Every structure is written in structure tokens, then in C-alpha cells.
Amino acid sequence: MRTHRCGELRAGQVGEKVALCGWVAHQRDHGGVLFVDLRDREGVVQVVIHPEEQPDAHATASRLRNESVIRVEGEVRARPDGTVNPDLPTGDVEVAVAGIEILSEADTPPFPIEDRIQASEDLRLRYRYLDLRRPEMASALRLRHKAFAAIHRFFDDLGFVEVETPMLTRSTPEGARDFLVPSRLQPGSFYALPQSPQLFKQLLMVSGLDRYYQIVRCFRDEDLRADRQPEFTQLDVEMSFVEEGDVQALIEEMLAEVWREALDVEVKTPFPRLPYAEAMQRFGSDKPDLRYGMELADLSQAFDGTEFRAFGGALDEGGVVKGFAAPGAASWSRKDLDGLVVEAQGRGAGGLVWIAFTGDEVRSPVGKYMSEEEIAAVREATGAGDGDLALLVADAEPRANTVLDGLRRLMAERLDLVPKGEWAFTWITEPPLFERSEEEERWVSVHHPFTSPVGDDLSPETAKARAYDVVLNGWELGGGSIRIHRPDVQRKVLEALGFSAEEAEARFGFLLEAFRYGVPPHGGIAFGLDRLSMVLAGRDNIREVIAFPKTQSGADLLTGAPAEVDEIQLRDLGLQLKQKQPPKKD
């Protein structure tokens, strides 16, 4: 039906006869001459219908409505002098129409099909197929495709084998809640949709496959955020006979290739390594943004024995005093500074102390409670210079870190400290092996229970993991580890997590049995490809790079899922609803 796509035409094709198909983006009537912007996936081209040259085509075009689908035949011509559009790749040419056919008429869409629209996200998701016609949305999906294609080529060239693992598996503990699927053939039993192919990829290493990868759909029944969805796409990688550096070097090459193919950007390798403890100390986060400074300083020692009760009380309870200096913010108004206190409180802090340094003048609402030595120590430890603002938090260290990490990111944005076009990759290494779950009142795995410990230390309070996360510009892109390959170590880790021998056998017996038949040392990594695509596209919400996403309540506004099912379906599954619950609102 067509010889070219709309966005492909250039000045070198002037004089050619072409057939185009697409959607009517805009139309204009200039003294009887009709101009139509015809759009398809590749872009927009202007077509022109002269009433005296093609009266039938002109009559057909005069009743066109925006978003109708048409086919045109005509000749590519150079645009007349003064009408070239430098903002369009096709702006040097137009198509003089000889014939036109309306393939599908369109109603008026609920929002304009163009970039920078004001439509609500709910409306866009309800009519997602229209939203995806907008150039910025189509561009994001194509960028995502380029990244995926580069990943497939990269691993195929290195001899990795892509293997599909089951979508219907068994529920295992750790991590988020599983999505459960009732079995009709075995009433009372349930499958679980996979949160990750973790156990299967380890079994593939036991099988001798040696190098595996998969771009796979995974599922987690958890509360959603801007960078999470109940179903997501993951790059899953596993290799035999490797150590941490082998996996990290491979992934650095892969990411460099993706950035090269998708953005035509060269990424510098190797990436720096940052131990978890150091990242928390310097940035208050295991996902630090390294594109700017404002590193945290621990001022606990400087305020030891202080008469400032807010700081002294926190230190007496085992907390810390930490802070950083925001460059050039000393001149902020009291209203703006009070707003920072509110921001800190919103992140969980009891309060925030600010100290503005301007020349020899020190301005702070609590300055009179601090000694000159303490203020001097703040200035020295944070590196605050003339015109800078020190922000300090006194609290339990985890909360202080969380608050200061959020304020650091906020100040970087408000002070325009984030350089454009910079990609600051880093590896965060040796995180804790275990963490305390207050909700479950027990120790749980930070990553998963199959991560190998550093050395022989399995104490829940001190054990470190042979794990590594790759972080970019404050976002965690992926995480992995060297796995446990010795059955005795695996049993000890499960025991440290509170599993009895019987529970371990019931949950993971198939893995423990496989480990009796020779297991190579192995490790791997998994990437959230939705998040990676979001970062590549410069968006701040993964819904902008997913074709058909869910809302924050897990609803699909396009299809109406999740939805009720009829009684017959429930009966076949041996299920009965005790009480219908109203749907959650976003």
C-alpha cells in the first residue's frame, strides 16, 4: 500500500512518485489549497492538495478529520522558498497529491495527539493507544527496543544461551508477595508467578549450560511507586566459574554497548567500586548520585558533650549528627529555609538545623546554643565556604541518612548542580548479608538467601554479602551476587534465617538435592529493564516507557483489569469469595 514511510522523505527524493499511509495530524486551508501533515511511526511530512490540479482529491481531503487514516499518492517536490521547516527532518520537501483514499475515519480524540499535552495521566492511560501515537511516547518505545536489541546481540556474540524459565512455579519466601494462581486440576494448590527466575538459573548452572541470559517478565505483588510495576521486564544473567570482577566487567561492556547503540554515547569503563559502608557514610544511600558533591560529614564527635540538647539527646540515645554544605544557599530567605525544615520532617526527621555562612557572619536559629568551636567544626567538616548553607540532622543513623540523602538530591535540583548529559555509573559492593525485619520480627536476606557470604561470617549483625549493585545517577539499575554453591553453606544460611531443616527441605529441597550432584561456582545479575529504559529516555516515571502500564493501585485503565470473574470460573477452581472488597483508588 505504500512505497515509503512519511518521515523518510528527503530532498534527494524530489521528483519521485510515492505512496504514503498514515494519520492526519493537522490540516490547513490556505486560499483553497489544502495542507495536511501526515504522520506515521517515522515522523511527519506535509502533503499538498491543489483544487485545480486534483479536484476529486481536494473534495475528499476537504472532509478529513484529524486522526483519520488515509493513503495518498503523489510526487515529492521541494518546498517553495520561504516555506522550508527546519524543525522537521522532512521540512525541505512536500508531496503534491495526485490521489487520496480515506482508509478509516476518526472521531475527535479526547486529547491532542502531540507532545507537551496537559491531559491527566489517567486519561492518557484510558486511551493509551492514542497516547502512544504521540511522538515522544513512540520515541521512548523505540529507544527501549534499541536497548533490548543491543542486549540480545551482545550476549549472543559472547556465546550466552537464552533459556525460557517457567511462568507457573511454586511460592517461595523472601522478597515481595507472590501473585498466586489457583490450580483447577489440583484443588487447594497454587502456582506462583515468578518474582525472578533465580532458582531456575542456578539449576541451569548445575546443568552445565555455563552461560545463560533471558529477557523475562516477572511479577511482584507490592505497593507501587514511580519506578515500580506489578509486572516488569528483567534482564537475567548467570555464569559459571566466575568471581565478582568477571560479572562486573561483563556488565560494564554490556552497558557501554547499550549506551552506544541507543544514545550514541561512549561510557567510560571500568566503573568505580564503592563499598556499601562507605556509600552510606558519604552519601547516606546505597544508590548515590555521584554527579555532584555535597557529601555527608559525621559531626557526632564534634558535638560530643554539647550543651545543645537536641544534638546531645540524639547522641545519648546512640544516634549521630550528620550534615552537608549546600553551596551558595546561605542567601536563601527564612521562608525558604523553614521550607527545608518541613522537607526534612516529611522524610521522618524530628527537625533540621541550618547554619548560613556569609563572610564572618553566622546565621542560625539555634546558633546561640552552639559554641564557636562547634560551629567551626561544622564549617571544617562539611567544607562550607563563604555563602554556603550547612544542613544538619541528629537522629538514629538510618533515619539521618535517609533524610540527608533526600535533602541532598533536593538541593542539587534546586541549586541546578546536576550536570546535563553526564552518566555517573558505580558499583556498590559488599552490602550486609542480612537485615532485621521489624514487621516479621526476624532476620531476612538483603538480596536473597542464595547469596554467598564474604568469608565464613554468618552472624546476622555483621555478615557481608558477595553482592554488587550497579547504580547510575542515583538509580539502582541492577543487582547481583556470587551464589552459594556448597550445600553445607546454603543450609547454614537458611538456618540463620530461621528455617528449620524440615522447612528448608520443604521449600528448597529440589535445589538442595541438585547441589548434591556437582555445582560449579557461579554468579550473575538481574536488571530492571523498565527502569533502565526510563533512565535512557530521561524520564522520571517508568510508566512513560511501558506500552501498557498499570496505575499505582495496580489497575489497567484501558482494559479494566483486575476485574471480577463469574461464579462458574470460581467454582471450577474450588474458590468462593467471602466478601467483595471495593477497588483501591490511586
C-alpha cell at 244: 565478582
- The runs of H, that is alpha helices, within 366-422 are 372-382, 397-414
**Helix H or strand E encompassing 233:** strand 231-240
Residue pLDDT tens, the chain, 586 long: 999 999 999 999 999 999 999 999 999 999 999 999 999 999 999 999 999 989 999 999 899 999 999 999 999 999 999 999 999 999 999 999 999 999 999 999 999 999 888 999 999 999 999 999 999 999 999 999 999 999 999 999 999 999 999 999 998 765 678 999 999 999 999 999 999 999 999 999 999 999 999 999 999 998 777 668 999 999 999 999 999 999 999 999 999 999 999 999 999 999 999 999 999 999 999 999 999 999 999 999 999 999 999 999 999 999 999 999 999 999 999 999 999 999 999 999 999 999 999 988 999 999 999 999 999 999 999 999 999 999 999 999 999 999 999 999 999 999 999 999 999 999 999 999 999 988 888 899 999 999 999 999 999 999 999 999 999 999 999 999 999 999 999 999 999 999 999 999 988 999 999 999 999 999 999 999 999 999 999 999 999 999 999 998 899 999 999 999 999 999 999 998 987 766 666 6
The DSSP letter of residue 10 is -
Q: Please give the Cα distance from 403 to 343 (Å, whole number).
A: 9
C-alpha cell at 510: 529440589
Task: Evaluate the CA torsion angle 80, 83, 84, 88 in order and state its sign.
Answer: negative
pLDDT score for 441 = 85
Cell 527466575 belongs to residue: 197
Q: Please give the Cα distance from 230 to 561 (Å, whole number).
A: 12
- One-letter amino acid for residue 519 of the chain: V
CB 296 within 8 A of CB 284: yes
pLDDT score for 226 = 66
- The runs of H, that is alpha helices, within 127-242 are 128-131, 135-157, 198-206
pLDDT score for 176 = 77
pLDDT score for 552 = 87
pLDDT score for 450 = 96
pLDDT score for 174 = 57
pLDDT score for 222 = 84
C-alpha cell at 300: 557526632
What domains, with CATH codes, occur in the chain? 6-104 (2.40.50.140), 139-274+425-567 (3.30.930.10), 292-414 (3.30.1360.30)
